Structure 1
Amino acid sequence: DLSMFYHEKTEREILSLKNYLYERKESIEEDDIDRWIRMVATNRLTGHSIGFFSVYTLPPNQAVSPKRQIKINRKRRQKPEYRGVKERIIKKSISLLRKLTMQQKNYLKEISKSAIFLTKDARNTPEINENLVQLTVTSPPFFKSSSI
């Protein structure tokens, strides 16, 4: 039950998109557009503004349990309203792409063929040749305390 996060119609749209993307991947028909939509939709699942699919909750990097979300909803006197999935994916995509030139888009597409993205212990990455890393992105620890 995710009714504390999403309006019923919004949740149906999310599940429909999830099923579509799953079927595309399983049938080996998934393309760059599908992967882009998956990335943007994943980023829009929960958050603290109207641009997210969910009712107001904590920022995306701070997971909230259903029980905790019920408390947030009570405190804020809020109820999930319908939020169109397609519209939010389009709006966020436009925002993310608006400053890229066609040359930059083509360059990114080309280098993506050899890019490696890993989510694992950085001390053990046999997939990467030695002396090759130019950037490591980490996430800071988050504290459990909150006033909500």
Structure 2
Amino acid sequence: MPRFFISRLTDINDIVCDPFMGRGTTLIEASLMGRMVNGSDINPISPMIVAPRLEPPSLEKVVEKLDEMQWGVSQKKLARWKRRNPHQWDEMEPYFHKDTFSDILMLRERFLGLPPWSSSVEAWIRMVTMAILTGHSPGFLSRYTLPPGSTAYPDAQRRINAKHRKGSEPKDVKKLIIAKSARLLATGIMPASRFPTLDASSADNLSLCESQTVKLVMTSPPFVDTIDYAKENWLRMWFAGIIDSYADLQSEKTPSIWRSGSISGWEQMMVGAMREMSRVLVPGGVAAIEVGEIRNGTETLDDRIIRLSQTVGLIPFALFVHEQNFTKTSHIWGVKNKTKGTNTNRIVLLRKPGGVALKGEDVLASVGSN
């Protein structure tokens, strides 16, 4: 979907920005198409996931770096760590075989001083490790658990273990990192960097972007009171050294990731974000904001985006609707298609005054210089 709008609303060397960059899909697509990219996300692991994917190493470099590392840490060393960190081990034990965990711990300690926006080979290995940290198939480092992107809390994982006696054997961490890297790099190396600029800040503070420099903002803000992003990512945040334990989620150590328990709170946050979008867009530039549905699909959020846009000086001019089926994780939450959750993607196009006055049909007809 990002390619559709990037190709029609920007040209080569234009700047594309995503203030809720998440895993970086928009930025990666834009970079592949020769655009310069700026991205931000208040989730502190987001830059760690995105930066290495924008400037990936060769598979040979990944293997070479992995060969330098000390695998199979002695059980004595692990035992000392467990004695010093009994609470952490109590939380980790449900997810990982002790031999697997010893290698994960070695990687965690090695990467603690690595900047979040690093694109080094080690940053790539950190990103891949986070990607395969937990999951429900043999390619993941954990025992059988929820699909990636949904992390069970420790007591829930113990119940999963009692029900599914799968994946209790040790995993070859190095081998799985190489296998995942090979899949990610199979299509070739990203073209020369488009000078990516990344930040871990709130969408209402896009200090990484100068005013009137961005041609397209393409983004998808968080859902309303649906996902607790800190809890969903707590194991990744632990691996990244952001928190020390699941218990830290209730403390000040946990970053304040965007989440609103009410539609009015969500609107208030979006006004701040959209005001920043208006500031950074060039005259005639476009913000493409993807939103979904709430209240069991009885209300869509595009009407609210359109109303809010007029308070920040942006002009709504088109709405694109993309219907989709749920992914295989929907049944975990008791969600059925067309009854609960998000069933459609609605992309609202907002234009900053000035420049060419686009219409919806212009977007369908036009294609940039690709």
* 2-structure distance, mates of 1:81, 1:45: 15
Is 1:105 the counterpart of 2:218? The answer is no
Select the residue among 162, 167, 178 that pairs with 1:74: 162
Deviating more after overlay: 115-124 vs 44-53 = 115-124
Shift of residue 135, structure 1, vs aligned partner:
3.0
Shift of residue 126, structure 1, vs aligned partner:
2.0
Equivalent residues of 1:4, 1:79 under 8 A apart: no
Shift of residue 22, structure 1, vs aligned partner:
2.7
Is 1:16 the counterpart of 2:106? The answer is yes
* 2-structure distance, mates of 1:139, 1:52: 26
* 2-structure distance, mates of 1:16, 1:75: 30
In structure 2, what residue type is equivalent to 1:58?
A: L
Is 1:136 the counterpart of 2:226? The answer is no
| Rg (Cα) greater in structure | 2
Equivalent residues of 1:3, 1:80 under 8 A apart: no
- SS of 1:105's equivalent in the other structure is coil
- SS of 2:219's equivalent in the other structure is coil
Is 1:115 the counterpart of 2:196? The answer is yes
Shift of residue 134, structure 1, vs aligned partner:
3.9
The match for 1:6 is 96
The alignment yields a C-alpha RMSD, in angstroms, of: 2.6
In structure 2, what residue type is equivalent to 1:22?
A: L
Aligned length: 135
Equivalent residues of 1:73, 1:79 under 8 A apart: no
The match for 2:133 is 45
Deviating more after overlay: 49-58 vs 116-125 = 116-125
TM-score scaled by structure 1? 0.76
Shift of residue 48, structure 1, vs aligned partner:
1.5
* 1-structure distance, mates of 2:208, 2:177: 32
- SS of 1:81's equivalent in the other structure is coil
Cα distance change on mapping 1:31 and 1:116 into 2, 3 Å:
closer
Question: What's the CA shift string for 1:93-141, capped at 9, x where partnerless?
Answer: 00000111xxx5342xx22xx3123444323312222341543355554
- SS of 1:55's equivalent in the other structure is coil
Shift of residue 58, structure 1, vs aligned partner:
0.9
Is 1:89 the counterpart of 2:174? The answer is no
* 2-structure distance, mates of 1:90, 1:76: 27
The match for 1:62 is 150
| Structure richer in strand, relative to its length | 2
- Unaligned 5+ segments in structure 2 are 1-89, 229-331, 335-370
- SS of 1:135's equivalent in the other structure is strand
Q: What percent identity do the matched residue pairs reach? A: 31
